[in-house]
Amino acid sequence: MSRTWTRDELAARIDHTLLDPAATNHEILLACEIARRNHCATVCLNSNRIAMASEALQGSDVGIAAVVGFPFGASHVDAKAHEAALAIADGATEIDMVIDIGRLKDGQLGPVRADIASVVAAADFHAVKVILECSRLTEDEKRTGCALAVEAGAAFIKTSTGYLGHGATLHDVVLIREAVGPTLGIKASGGILYYEDAVAMLDAGATRLGMSHTQQVLDSIQA
C-alpha cells in the first residue's frame, strides 16, 4: 500500500532539474530559487552553470548536481573526467554522468567500467549517479550497466536523461532495484509530472527523483 508523502518529505527527494541548453541566466536563477524555497535535495544543471548556482545557493541546504557527458554519454573518457573535476571545483556536490551507451551495447565492459571509474575518481568522494538511458538498452544490458556502475563506485543508478526515448518507468526502477540490492541510490528521471507519478516511483524503489515540474507537483499536495 502506498504511503502518503508530505510536501517536505517529497521535496527532500527531488533534484529540481533545468537542463535546457537555451536556458537563460534568469531561468537558472529561478530554478535555484525553486530548489531553495522548497528545500529540494539538489538543483540539477548543465556543468557550465554550476558556478552561478553555487553563488546563488550559498548558505542554503540545497546541493548542486552537475550533468557530465550529457545527454549522449559519447564524450571521450578524459573529457568526462575533466568535466566532472571542473564541476566539483565550481561547487557541484553531486555528478550525474551518462554511461557510454554504445560500448555497453557492444559488450565492451572494461572500457565502460573505466569510464565510470574515471568520473568517480574525478568527483573526489562526491556522489556520482550513473545514467543508463534505459530506453536504449535491453533488460540484460540494464543489469550489466548496473553491475559495472556498482563495481566502479557509483552512489546511484539513474534511469534516463529525458532526451533519448522515454523517461523513467516503474518497470525499470524495479529492475534496477533488483539488480543493485537494497542500499544503492536510484534516481528516477524523466516524465514525472504529478504527485502520483512521484510516489509510484518511490514505492517502486527510487530514492531520488529528477523533476522539472517540481513546483507544480509540490503545490498539488494538500497541507
- Active-site residue set: 96, 158, 187
Which residue in 213, 212, 129 sits closest to 176, CA to CA?
129
Contacts 24+ apart (CB under 8 A), 54-58: 54/90, 54/91, 54/92, 55/91, 56/28, 56/29, 56/32, 57/32
Query: What H or E segment, with its residue span, contains residue 198?
Result: helix 195-204
Q: Reduced to 3 states, what is the DSSP secondary structure of residue 41?
A: coil
Other beta carbons within 10 angstroms of residue 102's beta carbon come to 13
Q: What is the CA radius of gyration of the chain?
A: 16
